[in-house]
Amino acid sequence: MPSSGIVKYHVKLSFEVDGLVERADIIGAIFGQTEGLLGPEMNLNELQRVSKVGRIEVTTNATSNTTVGDALIPMSTDIDTCALIAAAIESIDKVGPFDCKFKLLAIDDVRASKKEDIVKRAKEIKQQWSTKTLSEGDTMLKSVYETSSNKLTTYGKEKLPCGPGIFDSPWIILVEGRADVINLLRAGYDNAIGIEGAKIDESIKELCDTKKVVAFLDGDRAGGFILKELKSLVNIDVIHRAYEGLEVEELTPQQIDDILKSTAEAMKQETTKPTLHDPEDKPLAEMVTRVYPQLNETLEAVALDEQEKEIFKVPISELVTKLAVQSGIKYLVLDGIITQRLIEGAKQAGIGYVIGHRIAKLTNADGLKLKTFTELGVA
């Protein structure tokens, strides 16, 4: 295992081959015959690249016409991944031209001895408080845990784990997995989403286009690889790492707050916009106030001419296509987010004002006046 990795489990297997083979043949079969079975992100080569799988150790003992032995695979993934890898290796039936059989012996938690010490100490602490049936601390921890679990939800077609705040918050926290999201919920941050591996889902890219983005990754080598992948695919505004050698899921609520508090305060100040009531906005606000009740929560957009008469009303999914063949629009009001793609279509259609719930990060909106319902005092 690389020095920066933290081994969590040892996957131990035995094998028997109906022929004489070398140690390298066994390792080659393990890598070659499991490739592609569980998807590209679960290939052993990929897991080794991101320091989730260490060096595979193989011992062999040959007789006159058979080879038997053991294989040990150190892993720093979760137990589910260990089980999948073990099952994939058990499916191997050939080493070179010879029939073979792999069998899982055990998945050992290498941190078990430390856990035993923790449990022993916990029993001693409990004994000291034996006069209480349930300590105040136990009650608080149970309450926090239940609240955190109930708040956990999912996002996108891949059902990525997330907190409910990602839908409304103007900024989001990208973390590596489900356990990280739960730990941030316990610390009071409900706007985290787990990317679940180094392969970035398309729904994550779309979400990042409309939000300020904070990456909060593990303090190990694997976290560095994932950060590099993220930076090549999405625009990250702030980067945070867990303390060296620790994962985000292992941080205490206080440690999480120490790392994220200043960024959270800065994001709040940056994304909070005052409501505007100057003379130029007043007639615009009056018009939007009339339109808003029939538009809100419909996922539709309405286009109006200079006299504020409706030209068309369509679902947002059809809006850009509609703008390509329509003219005479002065106001475009939509029950959604003002995106760069929409801006390009609005500019070509000669539109003057675009009003929506939020404004995404834009690179070029020259010639257009953009407003949110909040700025106009409508919502």
Assign 2 a pLDDT band (cuts: 50, 70, 90).
Answer: very low
Question: Of residues 240 and 377, which shows the higher confidence score?
Answer: 240
CATH of 281-372, one of 2.60.120, 1.10.3470, 3.40.140, 2.30.30: 3.40.140
For the chain, give the mean pLDDT: 84
Residue 277 has pLDDT above 50, yes or no: no
CATH of domain 158-271: 3.40.1360.10
User: Between 253-271 and 178-186, two packed helices, what is the crossing angle to 10 degrees?
Assistant: 80
What does the pLDDT average to over 313-333?
91
CB contact burial 204-241 (16+ within 10 A = b; e otherwise): beebbbbbbbbbbbbbbbbbbbbbebbeeebeebbebb
pLDDT tens-digit readout, 357-371: 888 777 777 888 999
What does the pLDDT average to over 229-258?
89
Answer positive or negative: Cα dihedral of 288, 291, 297, 299.
Answer: negative
pLDDT tens-digit readout, 181-205: 999 998 889 999 998 865 676 777 8
pLDDT tens-digit readout, 131-150: 454 445 555 555 555 555 55
Three-state DSSP at 335 gives coil
Q: Quick one: fold of 9-112?
A: Alpha-Beta Plaits (3.30.70)
Assign 58 a pLDDT band (cuts: 50, 70, 90).
Answer: very high
CATH topology match: 9-112 vs 281-372: no
What value, to the nearest 5°, has the Cα angle with vertex 208 and ends 204 and 211? 140
Give the count of beta carbons closer than 10 Å to the beta carbon of residue 284.
Answer: 20
Q: Where are the domains of the chain?
A: 9-112, 158-271, 281-372
